Amino acid sequence: MLLPKVSVIIINYNGKELLEKCLESLFKVEYDNFELVIVDNNSTDDTIDFLTKNYPSVIIIKLDSNKGFAEPNNIAAKITKGDFLLFLNNDTIVTPNFISEMIKVIKNDDKISICQSLLLKSDNSIDSSGDFIDELGVCFNSKSQTSEIQDIFSARGASMLIRKKIFDLIGGFDEKFFATFEDVDLGWRSWILGYKSVLVPKSIVYHVGGQTVNTFKNKIAFHGFKNQLTMKITNFESRLILKVLFKFFLKYGIRESKIWFDYKINGKTKITPTKYEFELAAKPNFKIIFKSIFWILKNFYYLRKKHIQVNKNRKISTESLIKMNIMLKQ
């Protein structure tokens, strides 16, 4: 039986050393029918020479500037020939059956549009078992241990398989995002149209994590906050947007102000980190917050247009997602 064609897409920026390990593992997978497209974000290392010399069959797209994650993936998706797109980070090492396990699951259920591999760290601890958001649209990464296929809100772009026809139907990644949360936004829009995202724990990928992101911390922090606001405006129903934004800024505005004063007076804070932070409650950067709000106001027409587009074919309400425990209550 002929296996469905999978188009693997990897975005790279100065990641030659990571890419070497990733490709070495990728070309050992037990799945023959795949093509590989690598989009290079104008790297200054010798990534292109390395690829040309060692992987002549790979389709290489070289961009003239660093365009982040969303736009390069869309560019690559347009030239692919597969029935499925597999977005893979360059800082991953894949296991031999990671593609076949996801294909097995997605082929058996037409309502599944997106699959995520179980992402592990090098010590075999869980890096991600999917993303979820709460009813205020705040995203957090799940690290729950499971051996069962389970519904998730969205799949992490480190290893995400999606039906190409669904990717095209929902318009691909939002290119205004640049990087961070574009995968959450994609998963949200998929659920709105009535399609599911699932974790496939038998598909295992080792993820070093955030190597390119660490190079642009301030830029990524801005896009992270801006993109979270964007999703609230575009993906919630019109009747909920103002309510959600008010509750979000009230709850987190008070909290962030307390953290800021703690750092200002004591140099640290005792406030417990939220589930989307790490070991410590992060010191707020009000410059980034105000810059994000200004971006929202400046791009209001675009956001309104996207909101209308997303919601005109809505099949599942926010209340239904909460009842399904896909969107979590506060």
* Residue written as token pair 């964007």: 230
Q: How far is it, in rounded angstroms, from Cα 320 to Cα 310?
A: 17
Q: How far is it, in rounded angstroms, from Cα 154 to Cα 131?
A: 5
Report the pLDDT value the prediction gives residue 276, as an integer from 0 to 100: 44
pLDDT tens-digit readout, 79-138 = 999 999 999 999 999 999 999 999 999 999 999 999 999 999 999 999 999 999 999 999
Q: How far is it, in rounded angstroms, from Cα 68 to Cα 50?
A: 21
Q: Which CATH number is associated with domain 7-214? A: 3.90.550.10
pLDDT tens-digit readout, 237-292 = 999 999 999 999 888 777 667 766 666 677 666 655 554 444 434 555 678 888 99
Q: How far is it, in rounded angstroms, from Cα 69 to Cα 181?
A: 10
Q: How far is it, in rounded angstroms, from Cα 92 to Cα 100?
A: 17
Report the pLDDT value the prediction gives residue 2, as an integer from 0 to 100: 85
Q: What tokens appear for 1 in the block?
A: 């039986």
DSSP string, 19-49: HHHHHHHHTT-S---EEEEEEE---SSSHHH
Per DSSP, the three-state class of 139 is strand
pLDDT tens-digit readout, 6-65 = 999 999 999 999 999 999 999 999 999 999 999 999 999 999 999 999 999 999 999 999
CA nearest neighbour of 235 among 130, 162, 326: 326
* In contact, 185 and 235? CB cutoff 8 Å: yes
Q: In the chain, where are the structural domains located?
A: 7-214, 217-328
Report the pLDDT value the prediction gives residue 279, as an integer from 0 to 100: 40
Using pLDDT thresholds of 50, 70 and 90, give the confidence band for residue 219.
Answer: confident
Contacts of 242 (CB under 8 A, 6+ apart): none
Q: 218: buried, middle or exposed (CB in 10 Å: 19+, 13-18, 0-12)? A: exposed
Range with the lowest mean pLDDT among 60-74, 154-168, 262-276, 296-310? Answer: 262-276
DSSP string, 288-327: HHHHHHHHHHHTHHHHHHHHHHHHHT--S-HHHHHHTTSE
Whole-prediction pTM value?
0.91
pLDDT at 217 over 80: no
* Residue written as token pair 């601890």: 125
As a whole number, the mean pLDDT across the chain is: 90
